[in-house]
Amino acid sequence: MTYTSDKPPLAESTDQLRARIPGWGADLDPKDRPSVPKLRWQEDRTGAHWDFPDRQPEKWPRERSIEHKFLPPVFGTSCPPKGVSGVIRRFAYRKYSEGRAAHWLLLLAADRVDAWESHLRSFLTARPDNPITETGVLSEFSRHGFSSRIGQKRSDVKHQVLDPVIVAGPWVLAVAITVTLARKLTHRS
Amino acid sequence: MRAMVYRGPYKVRVEEKAQPVVEHPNDAIVRVTMAAICGSDLHLYHGMMPDTRVGMTFGHEFIGVVEEVGSSVRNLVPGDRVMVPFNIFCGTCWFCARGLYANCHNVNPNATAVGGIYGYSHTCGGYDGAQAEYVRVPFADVGPTVIPEWMDDEDAVLLTDALSTGYFGAQLGDIVEGDVVVVFGAGPVGLFAAKAAWLMGAGRVIVVDHLEYRLVKARAFAHAETVNFTECDDVVVHMKKTTDFLGADVAIDAVGAEADGNFTQHVTAAKLKLQGGSPVALNWAIDSVRKGGTISVVGAYGPMFSAVKFGDAMNKGLTLRMNQCHVKRQWPRLFEHIRNGYLKPSDIVTHHIPLEHIAEGYHMFSAKLDGCIKPLIVPNAA
């Protein structure tokens, strides 16, 4: 037991476990575990045939962490920074290291600004954002939204009610502010 | 091409998007035949991961057919059926040379603390992902592997992240024969970690979650004992009682940033984004494990700080081990386990979603509807 030097006994013996669980103990020896030891020289370089890779062309000034000595040779080219959110992102990368909370908080703020910019921009296109289709909320009906939650003792149901507020709240607030301002302007004129 | 596109928190849609092109001599363009939504994609979907830009395509678990290769690619030719690890890695930097493929230093300008991951925000390199008809695969000679003839597509796609990560999580636990292993989270990674714990000689495997349908799966698929934490006054006390007050030898956090079980922790992290992640599962792991025990963390957290109980971890003399999985390093051994019949990853797949319906797929997976455990995405061009 715990208050003596003996370990509490297991309910099943090794033989019973081996009989019940397919493959039990196949990796019992750490030598058979591919990530042991953590650092292990990879002689085959997993197929690489360079010491340092060729450099990918930098087609626009690529934002990078100031903890890097230089721009790494390969990088993603999805979604270059744009608009106000792009200004915030570039500032976050230029000014703060990954060790600073400001770096991450600015990037999170830029994400929210980016979403607003993109929503507004979408209204100038033939395909404006549609919160019904884009949230996939109709799957509540086709995927048993009610029975998946009711009577299931799920811990997440308590906070799922916040999700519509997070998604729709800013829009409701924006509409309310716009209507209020419009009314004030109308009354003045 | 058709591709999933992020439109802001909780919103995605399918758009016509330019087909990716070779941007580096060792790139390949892969036509995606099957992808998955990963639990960690939900952190992006919920707007938790900094620098997740509107317009990005998610998706880091996928298989496909090589469509085109760059001028320096030697190991693949168009037409090859390939499985692609979620890590993008060069093979030769200080970290890759020592097997830490997930920590590659040559693929992510945006951060040094994390390597490159397909479709996982600019914090992970700004690469578009594979919930699309086509995807750019950098370092085609290093990451992808031709899918063996005998392997099922669904097994192959799960090897690109979920299975490898679960197996890796069990290894981080340094399990020895007879260990009591508690796995927090009965999602795909948790189920695979539980299964892998047996391979390493665990004497008991206990899976903790709040979704009963997933615990049913944990009992059937992973042969595990289960605990529904909503039925315990205090899951830590429950774990102590069930181990004769010693505590588990090893705890695996397979939940990560959106852990439930504490309303304040969850809301401050997942809803208000004031923490890098909700550390409920991690704190339970720290308190459930015995003194001198080991914590393995394979659940994904954001780069910001989280309210983790380091005092308890220190006072208990715990070993905390963690990383993103170095996927390709796991494959040879996992291939053997699948061939031997010890593992059948596709048993956890619950849904096949056409790419055009991906918004419903994300909502279903996020809200845990319809018994969803693992949804796969099938692009139109597949």
At A188 the pLDDT is 78
Q: Do A131 and B11 touch (CB under 8 A)?
A: yes
Grade residue B312 by pLDDT with cuts at 50, 70 and 90: very high
Q: How far is B329 from chain A, CA to nearest CA, in Å?
A: 6
Q: How far is B293 from chain A, CA to nearest CA, in Å?
A: 13
At the second CATH level, the architecture of B162-322 is 3-Layer(aba) Sandwich (3.40)
Give the tens place of pLDDT for each residue, A97-132: 999 999 999 999 999 999 999 999 999 999 999 999
Identify the DSSP state of A129: -
* CA–CA dist A75, B125 (Å, integer): 6
Mean local confidence (pLDDT), B254-282: 95
Give the tens place of pLDDT for each residue, B55-113: 999 999 999 999 999 999 999 999 999 999 999 999 999 999 999 999 999 999 999 99
Structure-model confidence comparison of residues A64 and A1, the more confident one: A64
- Domain B2-161+326-378 CATH assignment equals 3.40.50.300: no
Q: How far is CA B332 from CA A39, B127, B335, B336, in A?
A: 18, 27, 5, 7
At A168 the pLDDT is 85
Reply yes or no on whether the pLDDT at B315 is more than 80: yes
At A74 the pLDDT is 98
Give the tens place of pLDDT for each residue, B161-202: 999 999 999 999 999 999 999 999 999 999 999 999 999 999
Is the separation of the CB atoms in B121 and B56 below 8 Å?
yes
| Residue B64 structure tokens | 């496909």
Reply yes or no on whether the pLDDT at B204 is more than 90: yes
At B20 the pLDDT is 98
Reference B43, options B300, B323, B344, B368; nearest CA is: B300
Quote the mean pLDDT of chain B.
Answer: 97
* CA–CA dist B74, B342 (Å, integer): 34
At B84 the pLDDT is 98
List every span in chain B annotated with CATH 3.40.50.720: 162-322
Q: Do A36 and B171 touch (CB under 8 A)?
A: yes
At B381 the pLDDT is 62
Q: Among B125, B204, B271, whose Cβ lies nearest the Cβ of A76?
A: B125
Mean local confidence (pLDDT), B27-46: 98
Reply yes or no on whether the pLDDT at B262 is more than 70: yes
Q: Among B50, B142, B342, whose Cβ lies nearest the Cβ of A47?
A: B142
Residue in chain A closest to B359 (alpha carbons) equals A136
**Which residues in chain B are contacts of A97 at CB distance < 8 A?**
none
Most A CBs within 10 Å, among B19, B101, B112, B235, to test the A interface: B112
**Which residues in chain B are contacts of A47 at CB distance < 8 A?**
74-75, 91, 141-142
Per-residue HEC secondary structure of chain B comes to: CEEEEEEECCEEEEEECCCCCCCCCCCEEEEEEEEECCCCHHHHHCCCCCCCCCCCCCCCCEEEEEEEECCCCCCCCCCCEEEECCEECCCCCHHHHCCCHHHCCCCCCCCCCCCEEECCCHHHCCECCCCECEEEECCCCCCCEECCCCCCHHHHHHHCCHHHHHHHHHHHCCCCCCCEEEEECCCHHHHHHHHHHHHCCCCEEEEEECCHHHHHHHHHHHCCEEEEHHHCCCHHHHHHHHCCCCCEEEEEECCCCECCCCHHHHHHHHHCCCCCCECHHHHHHHHHEEEEEEEEECCCCCCCCCCCCHHHHHHCCCEEEECCCCHHHHHHHHHHHHHCCCCCHHHHCCEEEEHHHHHHHHHHHHHCCCCCCCEEEECCCC
At B92 the pLDDT is 98
Largest CA distance in chain A: 89
Q: Do A104 and B302 touch (CB under 8 A)?
A: yes
**Which residues in chain A are contacts of B123 at CB distance < 8 A?**
107
Residue in chain B closest to A86 (alpha carbons) equals B53
At A116 the pLDDT is 94
| Residue B218 structure tokens | 């944990």
Q: Do B223 and A49 touch (CB under 8 A)?
A: no
Give the tens place of pLDDT for each residue, A172-188: 888 899 999 999 999 87
At B380 the pLDDT is 77
At A75 the pLDDT is 98
List every span in chain B annotated with CATH 3.90.180.10: 2-161+326-378
At B382 the pLDDT is 62
At A153 the pLDDT is 87
